[in-house]
Amino acid sequence: MLLKTDQNLVIDDIKINFDTESLWILNIVLAVIMFGVALGIRIDDFKRLVKKPKILLVGILSQFILLPLFTFLIVWIIKPHPSFALGMFMIAACPGGNVSNFYSKIANGNAALSVSLTAFATLVSLVMTPFNFHFWGSMYEPTNAILQKITLDPAELFKAVLLLLGIPLVLGMLFNHKFPKLATKVEKVLKPFSMLVFIALIGIAFSKNWDLFINLIYLVFFLVVLHNIGAYFVGYFTAKGFRLNQRDARTISIETGIQNGGLGLLLIFGFFSDLGGMAFLAAFWGVWDIFSGIALAFFWSKKKLANS
């Protein structure tokens, strides 16, 4: 494959070893993770954000407006292969990853704010993920050509996001409302267990594609690292620009930098199965941001919170 002279053909011929059975397992695990997160979400979490609209608006601005804009600027300046660019737009359009709550706690961030933003961002993503992906993908001519060829229906993308995130979120919150004591017990077991299964699944998928990553990682390494680190900076400096305190700034930085790569990968497999480069970039993001997030969280855990 690497000996082909047509670079477009090489990149879009990349095939990740991830069969239908594994895809179904990933779908189920992602839904279970969202259900587990929702077990710890209460109506008060949304009320808390409504009482502090500034924090809510900064979080939404950072995740759903500035990050996609930042992604577009990177793509416009670097001009990566269209499949990679479309993968970057997909990642930027996804809501924050659920593991961000765990990282915020380690980083001495605002854990309650992290959970609240995750919940609210998940609801917003039902509309904003399809919108942002289609809007910014259409703004860049090479990716727009792909979207025109595939004729992606944003409504179908909305249905997929609703199925993977929206329904588990609602069911989890309803369960918590009806059976609060049982929900607390189930959450303590289900949330860490489902996250471990998710990470293990990513690890297995990575091991199955070890040779592929070793041989082709240079194609996406710089793009993913730049995009991810830039996302942390976007979140942090947006929060500081609006004069939020250090604890909240760390939280919004992590919420912006830890994107739901699992969701992005599932949407790519569902709608763009012929774009190997797009899936390859999203797959590496899913591995990379686990390590970058934990590294940033531990770095901040050693840093004393500034008075702000």
Task: Read off the pLDDT band of 77 (50, 70, 90).
Answer: very high
More confident residue, 131 or 53: 131
- Is residue 122 predicted with pLDDT exceeding 90? no
Contacts of residues 127-131 at CB distance under 8 Å and 24 or more positions apart, as own/partner, are 127/158, 128/64, 128/93, 129/93, 129/94, 129/95, 129/157, 129/161, 129/263, 130/93, 130/154, 130/155, 130/157, 130/158, 130/161, 131/93
- Say how many domains are in the chain: 1
Instruction: Please check whether residue 4 lies inside any domain of the structure.
Output: no
pLDDT recorded at residue 152: 61
- Look at residue 282 and tell me if it is in a domain: yes
Asked whether residue 305 is domain-assigned, the answer is no
Residue 116 lies in a domain: yes
Per residue in 194-243, pLDDT (tens digit) is 767 767 766 776 676 667 667 777 888 999 999 999 999 999 999 999 99
Is there a domain that residue 8 lies in? no
Task: Provide the residue range defining the domain that includes 235.
Answer: 17-300
- Domain assignment present for residue 273? The answer is yes
CATH number of the domain within which 200 lies: 1.20.1530.20
Q: Is 276 within a domain?
A: yes
pTM to 2 decimals?
0.80
pLDDT at 52: 75
pLDDT confidence of residue 193: 76
User: Is 9 inside any structural domain?
Assistant: no
Determine what percent of the chain is predicted with pLDDT higher than 70.
Answer: 79
